[in-house]
A = this chain, B = another copy of it.
Amino acid sequence: MNFEGINIPQKLVPNNYLQLGLEAQRVKQRHVKELLEKRKLPENGWRDEEIEELVHQLAALDSNNFAHNVGLGEREARIACRLVARRHYNFGHGIGRSGDLLEAQPKAAGSTLLAALTNALLFELLQMLGMHSCRGCFLVPMATGMTLMLCLQALRKRRPNAKYVLWSRIDQKSCFKAITAAGLQPIVIPCLLLEQEQSLITDCEKFKEKIEELGADSILCLYTTTSCFAPRNSDNIVAIAKLAKSNSLPHLVNNAYGLQVAAISGQLEKAQRVGRIDYFVQSTDKNLLVPVGGAIVASSDEQLLQHLASCYAGRASSSQTLDVFMTLLSLGCSGYQSLLVQRQQRYQCLKQRLQQFAKEHNETVPQMADNHISLALTLGTLTSCPGGRNIVELGAMLHTRGISGVRVVPVAQLKSIDGYEFKHFGAHHDLLEVPYLTVAASLGITCPDIDKFFEVLEKCWTQFNKTTDKQ
């Protein structure tokens, strides 16, 4: 709906006043035209009203929102609770079609357009981040773990006889479970410990050995991870990509929260140029600050993406798409760029203050060349006294005081996942001697957050020591 072509009587409003208003609408209309025709992420974010107007317009293209629609099917996107209808802007049909996430829906031109446009904008975003070798991407309405599983399933359809997945160990449950859920067999490649830096890197040699040992034909893919908790570094994806290419092996990259780190994007671009990455997967919640539930799969090969989409059984929620669409319009290029810059600055700040804290308390901050999000602090002095308090209580103390997201990694935690045992689970490797904690500077962290953290940490540290002394 708009006022073009409507002859609004002078009696209602003087024409000269009206014209100024209509001119302002035309500017808005040009923005919409540009968005739809060129599919470009707007330079500056849109205002809430503009975003909602477009979203409503899109929803109005779906048949359940036609005034005189008569539904004789088994699924007519009727919505019983009006609060639910309202929060979904009356979108009800979801995205995709029985066997393909990227297929258009005859009943739902608006949902189709929403999904296609969102994918186009995400592609723009990746380009903006420097990933020029990337040829396409799309949003999968499942979180990273399940989306990685979907990628593994898609790869299996192309390599039905391969069953091994070579996986550089990272102690995060869901990316490991993606392998077992798909009914595949993980081959765990432990990380290498850099003695001096006290940090962990990819054991590329071991990958090579395993490929030779098992034979490339029996291997479904190589599976690496970029963003991760300290003191593990981002995997050496360039080296693994080369290895994948030379062995004609698929390569899957878990880039969970890597879009927010320029260095990782650079590595991904390089790896695609000189080696092989079939799919790289990133979480929408961590990289775009939307609620949990979506992931972006990108590839330098459009056909691989089409294949992946066709492996998704049935239609899917459009809720995640809507969140991402609104967020991208709301931020615009400049908004997202400034989020990135701020995060980078605050990461530096967090790092410096952590090193300072470590110095003052005779602890260490492991050095990592390839981790620009997460930091670790050893907790050696706190546990030196035998029979002392359990170090994990430090985490609980912080949590109770409003600090969330700090992980305390104790020594000697053994975990079994789907029959596979992991020693020192949480530490990414078998040789941990000193417990530590990790903190991360992720998108949206603020300076007062950092101040408050050190204030609370200082207090808890002192209190922990006191209590331990008494015992």
Give every chain B residue within 8 A of A17 (Cβ-Cβ). Answer: 104-106, 108-109, 112
Chain A contact residue count (CB 8 A cutoff): 162
Q: How many copies does the complex hold?
A: 4
Nearest-neighbor residue (CB-CB) of A38 within chain B? B9
Given A1-B2, A145-B314; A80-B288 close (CB under 8 Å): yes
Give every chain B residue within 8 A of A385 (Cβ-Cβ). Answer: none
B72 touching A406 by the CB < 8 A rule? yes
Nearest-neighbor residue (CB-CB) of A110 within chain B? B21
State whether the Cβ of A78 lies closer than 8 Å to any Cβ in chain B: yes
State whether the Cβ of A443 lies closer than 8 Å to any Cβ in chain B: yes
CA distance A22 to B82 in the complex (A): 24
CB under 8 Å from chain B, chain A span 37-86: 37, 39, 47-54, 56-57, 59-63, 65-84
B67 touching A24 by the CB < 8 A rule? yes
Give every chain B residue within 8 A of A82 (Cβ-Cβ). Answer: 48, 82
CA distance A281 to B259 in the complex (A): 36
State whether the Cβ of A198 lies closer than 8 Å to any Cβ in chain B: no
* Partner of A109 from B21, B28, B108 at Cβ < 8 Å: B21
State whether the Cβ of A141 lies closer than 8 Å to any Cβ in chain B: yes
Nearest-neighbor residue (CB-CB) of A174 within chain B? B314
CB under 8 Å from chain B, chain A span 388-414: 399-400, 402-407
A174 touching B313 by the CB < 8 A rule? yes
Give every chain B residue within 8 A of A294 (Cβ-Cβ). Answer: 317
State whether the Cβ of A144 lies closer than 8 Å to any Cβ in chain B: yes
CA distance A433 to B441 in the complex (A): 64
1/0 contact string of A293-326 vs chain B (CB within 8 Å):
1100000000000000001111111111001001
1/0 contact string of A180-203 vs chain B (CB within 8 Å):
111100000000000000000000
State whether the Cβ of A32 lies closer than 8 Å to any Cβ in chain B: yes
B181 touching A61 by the CB < 8 A rule? no
B442 touching A76 by the CB < 8 A rule? yes
CB of A454, distance to nearest CB on chain B (Å) = 10
A80 touching B157 by the CB < 8 A rule? no
State whether the Cβ of A431 lies closer than 8 Å to any Cβ in chain B: no
State whether the Cβ of A262 lies closer than 8 Å to any Cβ in chain B: no
Give every chain B residue within 8 A of A149 (Cβ-Cβ). Answer: 313
List 17 A-B residue pairs with CB atoms under 8 Å apart, sorted by A's residue number.
A9-B36, A21-B66, A28-B60, A51-B83, A52-B83, A53-B56, A68-B402, A72-B449, A73-B407, A77-B291, A80-B444, A87-B87, A92-B292, A94-B293, A141-B293, A174-B313, A177-B313
* Top 6 closest pairs, chain A to chain B, by CB: A73-B405, A145-B314, A293-B317, A94-B292, A21-B61, A174-B314
